[in-house]
Amino acid sequence: MQVDGGIRDGDTIRRMFGGIAPRYDLLNRLLSVARDRYWRREAVAHTQLPSGGVALDVCTGTADMALELARQFPSARTIIGVDFCLPMIRIAAEKVARKGLTGRIGLQAASAEALPFDANTFDAVTIAFGIRNVVDRKCGLSELCRVLRPGGVGVILEFATPPGPLFGWLYRVYFHRGLPWLGGLISGDAEAYRYLPTSVSAFPVPQELSRMMEEVGFHDVRFRTLTGGIVTLHVGTKSA
């Protein structure tokens, strides 16, 4: 399987993530030096999920964001995680069960471009490191906004390229050389971890993603960078 950052084939992306699912969590912790947990905490805190609220995590993967939503907002009524990759959903279900949260967190297979929910359903919608892999990004963003209630919050967490000359250079060396080698060594799929840096390089800059969010119905869109610009956190509210 040959993949690159410009790939727009959902079936290929689905198979790729299915292949690395068993080592996905381990590699997330290892390759980010456990910073991925901090990034998710920051993202979830911005959802402002009300007591009795309902949240949706899109491209949930192994449910780390859904679990963080449940942890930060114990009074939330329901949290749903969706992903188009069944092996990821199976691992997510095992993690949710081990935490005793099956009654609060529901999981199902679904594409970000065709969410199986009515409009105006959720108080918050999140997507962490997933919008980059959505084939039709504008459609995916539109779906996020559609299922939000008016005034609901959409949160997008995604990798970026650090701007600083020295840190940016060091990061690019690690991201484009060290990470693919280590990820391939541990997962057994070097192509998947070559896809990651090239897909990040091909992803729109934060200002462009903000503009796309506004085009589909979000307002008051703002973003901030985390960990020296490695990650960007976008937050927007659905127009009333």
Tokens describing residue 170: 């060091």
Q: Which of 5-9, 66-70, 164-168, 236-240 has the lowest mean pLDDT?
A: 5-9
- Measured between alpha carbons, how far is 99 from 26 in angstroms, rounded to an integer? 18
Q: Which of 123, 9, 107, 118 is nearest to 58 (CA)?
A: 107
pTM for this entry: 0.88
Query: Helix, strand or coil for residue 44?
Result: helix
- Measured between alpha carbons, how far is 110 from 108 in angstroms, rounded to an integer? 6
- Measured between alpha carbons, how far is 146 from 143 in angstroms, rounded to an integer? 5
- Measured between alpha carbons, how far is 204 from 182 in angstroms, rounded to an integer? 26
Residue 8, pLDDT score: 55
Tokens describing residue 50: 């009300």
Q: Which helix (H) or strand (E) holds 118?
A: none
Q: Which DSSP letter does residue 178 get? A: I
Q: Model confidence over 170-203: pLDDT tens digits?
A: 777 777 777 777 777 777 777 777 777 787 778 8
- Quote the crossing angle between the two packed helices 86-98 and 64-72, to the nearest 10°: 30
Q: Are 234 and 222 in contact, with CB atoms under 8 Å apart?
A: yes
Pairing type for strands 105-109 and 122-128 reads unpaired
Residue 26, pLDDT score: 79
Domain boundaries, the chain: 10-238
Query: What is the amino acid identity at position 158?
Result: E
Q: Model confidence over 82-131: pLDDT tens digits?
A: 999 999 999 999 999 999 999 999 999 999 999 999 999 999 999 999 99
**CATH architecture of residue range(s) 10-238:** 3-Layer(aba) Sandwich (3.40)
